[in-house]
């Protein structure tokens, strides 16, 4: 890694072949070793707001295979979320931002050759093992609106991991982002998710844009080495439209199967699926003990902050809650027509 605080990589570091058949028997890349060992060291030195050990987990019965986890401390101990009033809210230097963290929370700087840097810092209120924040060019004080570098970093960090359980996500303002300073979340989840292999239908060939056919329906892009830059540009084109129309959104980056009409149950996870969910905006400060629908919940990973909700949840009740946060079908239809016309 060179200097212990800088992780430099090239495209040769991307892990091309990943298999998820043996979930417990995973490889470790140079990136995984740096992230996991650094994160564990920070945990052992008491930098987190609570100690996260193995979480109580259950798979909800049903076809969706929802992964429910109980994490009470995240609801009670984390920093109070900021009040959000618009998807396009300006950065406010007086509010908490990632330039104000304890320097010991920095794991390393992530840098592709001579390109711009991204800070990788621990999330002091973790939701799973390795939970970190990817903060592109923090000194530039970008608001929580995706940039080309942020999307590129999200995809490339997944490609740097040999573990199919390493996921990255993004919550926009109004989509339950807690801090208005550009960042993505990264963490390990030792379970398969249905969206890794859900079938999809091509709707915009010029952008390689697909629509997931399973609930909750979202837009899907698929990135492999050769088409990486094109996919990044296409994702930014879509999210720019959402920001312009003040539509909140969540993204999830995960190893997955190529898009196709039929579900793929093979164990190959060589590319990265990027799912974009346009959703209803939730403005104001979020209720921390509530079941807030953001990047994890839409992807099928359900962190619960109280035991009653964790034990009583069913696939049906979860889907009912998620449905309330999704854009109505007529709005999705209008958005698709707009995308076909302007993209």
Q: How far apart are CA 168 and CA 186, in angstroms?
A: 4
Q: What is the mean pLDDT of residues 63-67?
A: 95
Q: How much is the pTM?
A: 0.94
Report percent pLDDT > 90 for the chain: 77
pLDDT of residue 95 exceeding 60, the answer is yes
Query: Residue 32 — pLDDT band, cuts 50, 70, 90?
Result: very high
Domains of the chain: 6-19+26-342 (3.30.428.70)
pLDDT in tens, 141-198: 999 999 999 999 999 999 999 999 999 999 999 999 999 999 999 999 999 999 999 9
Helix (H) or strand (E) holding 69: strand 67-70
The span from the first CA to the last CA of the chain, in angstroms, equals: 40
The catalytic residue positions are: 183
pLDDT in tens, 221-273: 999 877 899 999 999 999 999 999 999 999 999 999 999 867 666 667 889 99
pLDDT value for 303: 95
Q: How far apart are CA 121 and CA 185, in angstroms?
A: 10
Helical residues (DSSP H) of the chain, grouped into ranges: 30-44, 72-77, 148-160, 228-244, 295-299, 307-312, 315-325, 329-342
On the 0-12 / 13-18 / 19+ scale of CB atoms within 10 A, 214 is: middle
Residue 220 main-chain phi, psi, to 5 deg? -125, 135
pLDDT of residue 328 exceeding 80, the answer is yes
């Amino acid at each position: 890694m060179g200097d212990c605080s800088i992780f430099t990589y090239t495209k040769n570091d991307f892990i091309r072949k990943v298999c998820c058949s043996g979930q417990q028997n995973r490889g470790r890349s140079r990136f995984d070793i740096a992230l996991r060992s650094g994160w564990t060291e920070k945990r052992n030195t008491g930098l987190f707001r609570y100690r996260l050990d193995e979480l109580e987990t259950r798979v909800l019965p049903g076809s969706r295979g929802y992964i429910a986890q109980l994490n009470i401390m995240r609801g009670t101990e984390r920093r109070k979320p900021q009040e959000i009033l618009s998807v396009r809210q300006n950065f406010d230097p007086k509010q908490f931002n990632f330039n104000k963290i304890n320097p010991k929370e920095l794991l390393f700087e992530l840098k592709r050759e001579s390109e711009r840097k991204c800070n990788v810092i621990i999330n002091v209120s973790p939701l799973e093992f390795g939970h970190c924040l990817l903060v592109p060019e923090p000194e530039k004080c970008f608001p929580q609106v995706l940039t080309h570098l942020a999307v590129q970093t999200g995809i490339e960090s997944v490609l740097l991991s040999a573990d199919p359980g390493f996921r990255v996500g993004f919550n926009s303002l109004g989509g339950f982002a807690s801090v208005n300073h550009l960042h993505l979340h990264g963490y390990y989840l030792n379970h398969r998710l249905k969206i890794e292999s859900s079938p999809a239908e091509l709707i915009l060939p010029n952008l390689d844009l697909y629509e997931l056919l399973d609930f909750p329906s979202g837009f899907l892009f698929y990135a492999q080495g050769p088409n990486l830059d094109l996919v990044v540009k296409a994702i930014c084109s879509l999210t720019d439209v959402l920001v312009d129309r003040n539509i909140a959104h969540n993204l999830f980056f995960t190893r997955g199967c190529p898009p196709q009409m039929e579900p793929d149950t093979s164990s190959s996870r060589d590319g990265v699926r990027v799912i974009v969910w346009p959703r209803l905006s939730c403005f104001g400060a979020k209720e921390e003990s509530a079941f807030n629908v953001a990047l994890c919940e839409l992807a099928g990973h359900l962190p619960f902050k109280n035991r009653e909700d964790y034990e009583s949840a069913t696939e049906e009740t979860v889907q009912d809650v998620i449905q309330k946060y999704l854009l109505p079908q007529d709005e999705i239809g209008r958005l698709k027509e707009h995308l076909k016309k302007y993209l």
